[in-house]
Amino acid sequence: MTPNAQEQVERMLALVPYLRARDGISIDEVARDFGVRPSQIVKDLKVLWFCGLPDAVTGDMIDIDMEALDGEGVVKLTNADYLTRPLRLAPHEALALIVALRTLREASGDSQRDAVDRALSKLERATGEIGQTAAAVDVHVDSGDAAVRSTIDQALAGNRRVHLSYYVPSRDETTERDADPMRLVFADGQGYLEAWCHRARETRLFRLDRISAVAVLDAAATPPPGARPKDLSGGLFQPDPDDPLAVLDLAPGARWVADYYPIESREETASGRLRIGLRYRDRGWLERLVLRLGGDAELIEPQTLAAAVRDRAQAALANYSG
């Protein structure tokens, strides 16, 4: 089928019962709900006008008030008793929706989980056998410490400022700061508090499992009017092209690094290693990564940093020579 006709038939099968239940709805609202332009809905309606039961005796074509459409931009559809309900959900639609809801359930706090459970059980009932297929997909989300999470939920619900003790691994340091919570984000299997940070004076993402303590303060959360949640459509961590570039040679034991971090380039070397280019913001982070890889990775560039890592390893070895 031409994709156009397939999409159109799919949309029209939903459009008819939708319009039957919403007599006189504006064309713009229909277009918004269906995620297409109003002109596309008009095209759909002009096709539907020719649909129905053409039989001369029991003739029963779908009727659309074209004057109301042209004049007031509203849709009045009648005579479609044979299409009172939409088509049931296709397996992939039901599955996508159920898995999305399960992900939401994993990320939910106690107060919201009940509504998700009720919605899930109603949808699973409405989709019948497909609910069984849904058992084949599972999503695990890490929500950090339960007490930390419930305090943050409380602050978000009451719109209150929090005080955070937050561990910054690249500096191996626990920091203290006040923050105005905006929302909880779950991406790449981790939970984050997105908040206006009074110390950094910008919107920051705080990984829940790195918050060692959180307290709700009396002050209201008042992020400045300009503070916006980050646009996460391109992924949580976008390497900044202005960040310095490191080049690493990975032995087999360190190849996971290429899967784990967004890398700029990868190239197999003649000696069976993988050479990757990796942007880093914080040199402490890169030093710790190379130390952790314990010889399975060689830092090629920048050379000054490679020397610093060697010095750090030597200083560490001195701890053992006593």
Partner 1 sequence: MTKRKSERLMNLTICLLVARTFISKSRIRQAVEAYHDMGDDAFDRMFDRDKEELRVLGIPIETGPIEKGFEDDVGYRIRRDRFELPEVSLEADEAAVVGLAARVWQHASLASATTQGLRKLRAGGVDVDESALSILEPQLATDEPAFDSVFAAVTQRTPIEFGYRAATATEVGTRHLEPWGIVSWHGHWYVVGHDRDRDDARMFRVSRIEGEATPIGQPGSYAPPDDLDLRALARTLAPPHPHSSATVRVRHGAGDALRRRAVNSHQVDDQWTEIELAYGSGTSLADELASFGPDIVAIAPDEVRDAVVRRLSLVAGVEQR
Whole-angstrom distance, CA of residue 256 vs CA of residue 235: 19
| Shortest reach from residue 277's CB to partner 1, in Å | 18
| Shortest reach from residue 216's CB to partner 1, in Å | 15
Q: Which is nearer to partner 1, 71 or 282 (CB)?
A: 282
User: How many residues make up the chain in this entry?
Assistant: 322
Whole-angstrom distance, CA of residue 39 vs CA of residue 113: 40
Q: Which is nearer to partner 1, 14 or 217 (CB)?
A: 14
| Shortest reach from residue 261's CB to partner 1, in Å | 12
DSSP 8-state assignment for residue 134 = G
| Shortest reach from residue 65's CB to partner 1, in Å | 19
Report how far apart, in Å, the C-alpha atoms of 67 and of each of 23, 30, 71, 76, 177 are. Answer: 14, 17, 6, 10, 62
Q: Which is nearer to partner 1, 48 or 276 (CB)?
A: 48
Contacts from 161-165 at CB under 8 Å and sequence distance 24+?
161/216, 161/217, 161/219, 161/220, 161/221, 161/222, 162/195, 162/214, 162/215, 162/216, 162/217, 162/221, 163/214, 163/215, 163/217, 164/206, 164/211, 164/213, 164/214, 165/211, 165/212, 165/213, 165/214
| Shortest reach from residue 200's CB to partner 1, in Å | 19
Q: Which is nearer to partner 1, 93 or 242 (CB)?
A: 93
| Shortest reach from residue 189's CB to partner 1, in Å | 3
Asked if residue 25 lies in contact with residue 75, where contact means CB atoms within 8 angstroms, the answer is yes
| Shortest reach from residue 273's CB to partner 1, in Å | 9
- Residue 185: how many CA atoms within 13 Å on its side-chain side? 21
Q: Which is nearer to partner 1, 107 or 197 (CB)?
A: 107
Handedness of CA 121, 126, 129, 134 (dihedral sign): negative
* Two structure tokens written together for 209: 């499992």
Q: Which is nearer to partner 1, 71 or 270 (CB)?
A: 270
Whole-angstrom distance, CA of residue 273 vs CA of residue 264: 16
What are the residues whose beta carbons fall under 8 Å from the beta carbon of 84, sequence distance 6 or more?
A: 17, 20
CA 205, distance to chain mean position in Å, is: 14
| Shortest reach from residue 68's CB to partner 1, in Å | 21
Q: Which is nearer to partner 1, 71 or 262 (CB)?
A: 262
Q: Which is nearer to partner 1, 71 or 140 (CB)?
A: 140
